Chains A and B, each alone.
Chain A
Amino acid sequence: MRALKLAALVLLGVACAKENANNSSTASSTASSTGGVDLTGAGATFPYPIYSKWFSDYATRTGVKINYQSIGSGGGIRQLSEQTVDFGASDSPMSDDEMSKAKGGPIIHIPTVLGAVVITYNVPGLSSPLKLTSKAIADVFSGKITKWSDTRITSLNPGVTLPATDILVVHRSDGSGTTYIFTDYLSKTVGTWNTSVGKGKEVKWPVGLGAKGNEGVAGQVKQTPGAIGYVELAYAKQNNLPTAAIQNKAGKLILPSVAAVTAAAAGAAGTLPANTDYRISIVDAPGADSYPISSFTWILAYQHQRDQIKGKKLVDFLNWALTDGEAEASALDYAPLPTDMVSRVKTRVAAIDFNTAK
């Protein structure tokens, strides 16, 4: 009996340790280590590859060390609101309600790079890119179209034979900026989607399977003949996934690319008021070459910085990122901001004041 008790205790211990390890990965990241670090930030996972490149390049150039925890946009917003980090990062703009709860006063949204959501699919025998409209996408993702051979799809793809097989919809199961951008696009362009499903980082999907992360969605689509899903542009490009061409506002079919995403930002920029706070959606942007499912990703910072030294470091970094940093973006499959927009965004950075801080 003694040996049994011992064995049970050891096993319990192993189980507990494992659980703790699972949980602490999110919990421990809230503790900000300040040893030799000048700025700390937290937030979106989507721009993490480009941000970490920026931070390491910036550190070698200026010696300023930035510690960024990619814990998700929600966590970034919460931590910035609680003032436990110097800046946040998010894939979706903060709501007025969230802004009003921030403890450090008004928050400025600085768009850094652009991302896009692509439709990927697994249709055996299809060699040319699938062509879709927002209406067709909404019908597929809400279960109104259930077969690939549906005329609402075949009429968009003349000269291509599509199989009469079932469509399997794959969506993200985890809360995600990718889902936000995708549902924002469908809400903006398809009235019935807006009233039935709506937009958000997680929505109530009428049909389909949920998979975790871009890799989960892509993996499920790749494995299942007849599947369709949505993933980040950068992820799709790096893994050579088949992507659909989507009809934009101008009526042109556009394949996702870094250039087409930047074009969407340029198209949207033309309609922006001079005093915009950049909390804007650029899905279904005007412009002949605009890819319609595009979005900014933002760095969030308090307008009134509490710490003069940190405030200056943050502003210097943002200015560097908007100048030199932008040039590095497309190599990592992120779309840079259009050049004429950069100077306008810099005036927003200039609105961050740190001179009055202690």
Chain B
Amino acid sequence: MTSLPADWLEKDRRRLRVEGSAVSDRIYEILTAGCAIVIPALVIAIAVAIFAAAWPAFSRVGLSIVTSSDWDVANGHFGAAPAVFGTLVSSAVALIIATPLALGVAIFLSEFSPAWLRQPVGFLVDLLAAIPSVVYGLWGIFVLNPLLREDVMPFLRDTLHLGATPFFRGPAYGPSMLSAGLILAIMALPYISAVSREVLMAVPRSQREAALALGATRWEMIRDAVIPFAKSGIIGGIMLGLGRALGETMAVTMVIGNRLEISASLFAPGYTMASLIANEFSEATNDLHLSALMAVGAILFVITLVVNGVARWLVWSVSRGRAK
């Protein structure tokens, strides 16, 4: 791109505005402003509606909805702590598994892959995002869970002796926090890898050439020149994957075992907030029960907001750090 002096551009734009149709400009401005207002308004409206519906439960059970583990609809106890725990843990497990894999795929495709392989592999990885979550759930029930129960869990627990730690203890049933984390990892992976791949490819050629000219090996070039440059984008991709994991409902419900209990072991069944709502909403008739489910939704909303906020902050602080 040839660069023009800034003042020239400004002059040119002013000239265009005078000569062009001022009316159509105005209409265009109003239309885009309308779009810009409607979408944030929608987010606020949804938040208000959820919190209003959740208010009866918040005022009745208070903070114990996130601190208590006693969810007993018949007796009017609504403590969703295990679901909050499950949402956070399953998403964390998913990121721990998905991030290195996704970064590996992205780095291979952007740095090492022969050109003919780049397109098909990238396409297939992206395709993971297009599979409906209920299909992942079915695969989880019929393939992943039996595999975990028969092979993976006994291997981790007995062969690797990880059963000595509290995280891989207990009977292997299949449906478990581990199973949910694995499913979520597969679902979050394409988001992380697609964004990372794009950012890595966007790193300027000059950056790489400079590193190589200084005598860096290929790996040193990637580690010291490419990845630092793409860091903020990669973090953005990871947060996008986390957002996907936090809100995923159907597939998790089908594999997590739906047990409202906090357990350190990844072999134990768990529950997530999204699953709790999906499971109980359709048959909830009692007003307080409905409101409590709305409250769980509100908490999930807040957690998602916080995660997005943290992501923004991370991206911002990383890119500022680079500017220095």
Question: Are B198 and A3 in contact, with the CB atoms below 8 A?
Answer: yes
The answer on a CB contact under 8 Å between B258 and A212 is: yes
The answer to whether B254 and A4 have CB atoms under 8 Å apart is no
Q: Are A174 and B73 in contact (CB under 8 A)?
A: no
Q: Which residues of A contact B285 (CB under 8 A)?
A: 73-74, 77-78, 98
- Whether B257 lies near A210 (C-beta < 8 A) is yes
Q: B129 on the interface (CB 8 Å rule)?
A: yes
Chain B: minimal CB distance from A19 (Å): 6
Is the CB of A200 closer than 8 A to any CB of chain B?
A: yes
By the criterion CB–CB under 8 Å, are A4 and B198 in contact?
yes
Listed from nearest, the 9 A-B pairs whose CB atoms lie closest are A175-B283, A210-B258, A72-B282, A173-B258, A74-B283, A204-B72, A174-B279, A200-B74, A74-B285
Measured CB to CB, the closest approach of chain A to B230, in angstroms, equals 9
Binds A, one of B17-25, B205-213, B216-224, B236-244: B236-244
CB-based nearest B residue for A201: B283
One digit per residue, 1 when the CB lies within 8 angstroms of any chain A CB and 0 when it does not, for chain B 36-62 equals 000000000000000000000000000
Within 8 A of B (CB), among A157-204: 166, 168, 173-177, 198-204
The chain B residue sitting closest to A97, CB to CB, is: B286
On chain B, the residues within 8 Å of A11 by CB distance are 129, 191, 194-195, 240
Q: Which residues of A contact B312 (CB under 8 A)?
A: none
30 A–B contacts, CB within 8 A, in A order = A4-B233, A7-B194, A7-B195, A7-B198, A14-B130, A15-B240, A15-B243, A26-B281, A26-B282, A71-B282, A73-B285, A74-B281, A74-B283, A168-B171, A173-B275, A174-B279, A174-B282, A200-B74, A202-B283, A203-B74, A204-B70, A204-B75, A208-B259, A209-B175, A209-B259, A210-B257, A210-B269, A210-B271, A211-B175, A212-B279
Task: Name the residue in B249, B283, B285 with the highest tally of chain A Cβ atoms < 10 Å from its Cβ.
Answer: B283
- Tell me the minimal C-beta distance from B106 to chain A in angstroms: 12
Interface size, chain A (Cβ < 8 Å): 46
Interface 9-residue window, one of A219-227, A228-236, A259-267, A313-321: A219-227
Residue A103, interface by CB 8 Å: no
Contact at B280–A175, with CB atoms within 8 Å? yes
> Looking at the complex, which one of B71, B141, B284 makes contact with A175 (CB distance below 8 Å)?
B284
A1 in contact (CB, < 8 A): yes
Whether A19 pairs with B171 at a CB distance below 8 angstroms is no
Closest B residue to A200 by CB, please name it: B74
Q: Is B301 an interface residue when CB atoms closer than 8 A count as contact?
A: no
- Which residues of the other chain, A, contact B154 by a CB distance below 8 angstroms? none
**Do residues A202 and B259 form an inter-chain contact, with CB atoms below 8 A?**
no
Q: Is the CB of B202 within 8 A of A175?
A: no
Given contacts A203-B73, A209-B173, list 11 more A-B pairs with CB under 8 A: A1-B202, A72-B282, A168-B173, A174-B278, A204-B70, A204-B71, A209-B258, A210-B258, A211-B175, A212-B279, A223-B146
- The answer to the question of A341 belonging to the interface, with a C-beta cut-off of 8 Å to chain B, is no
Q: Is residue B89 contacting chain A, with contact meaning CB distance below 8 A?
A: no
Inter-subunit contact A224/B173 (CB<8 Å): yes
Distance to closest chain B CB from A194 (angstroms) = 11
Complex CA–CA separation, A252 to B278 (angstroms): 40
A18 → B minimal CB distance (Å): 7
Interface size on B, residues (CB 8 A): 52
Point out the residues of chain B lying under 8 angstroms from A309, CB to CB. none
Which residues from chain A contact B199 at a C-beta distance below 8 Å? 4
- Tell me what chain B mostly uses at the interface: helix, strand, loop, or mixed: helix
Return A82 CB to nearest CB of chain B, in Å: 12
CA separation between A65 and B173, bound complex, in Å? 47
Q: Is A115 in contact with chain B by the CB < 8 A criterion?
A: no
Task: Check B74–A198 contact: CB distance below 8 A.
Answer: yes
In the bound complex, residues from chain A placing their C-beta under 8 Å from that of B231 are none
B133 at the binding interface (Cβ < 8 Å): yes
A205 to B171 alpha-carbon distance, docked (Å): 18
A275 beta carbon closer than 8 Å to chain B: no
Contact A204 B74 (CB under 8 A): yes
Flag whether B118 is at the interface (Cβ < 8 A).
Answer: no
Q: Say whether, besides A4-B199, A168-B173, A224-B173, A219 and B141 are in contact (CB < 8 Å).
A: yes
CB-defined interface of B181-192 with A at 8 Å, one 1/0 digit per residue?
000000000010
Determine the chain B residues whose CB is within 8 A of the CB of A200 once the complex forms.
73-74
Interchain CA distance A12-B271 in the complex, whole Å: 25
For B279, list chain A residues within 8 Å (CB).
Answer: 173-175, 202, 210, 212
- Does A336 lie at the interface of the complex (its beta carbon under 8 Å from any beta carbon of B)? no
Bound complex: CA A18 to CA B282 (Å): 20
Which among A98, A199, A200 has the highest number of chain B CB atoms within 10 Å? A200
Contact B195 A4 (CB under 8 A): yes
Name the residue on A nearest B171 (C-beta): A166
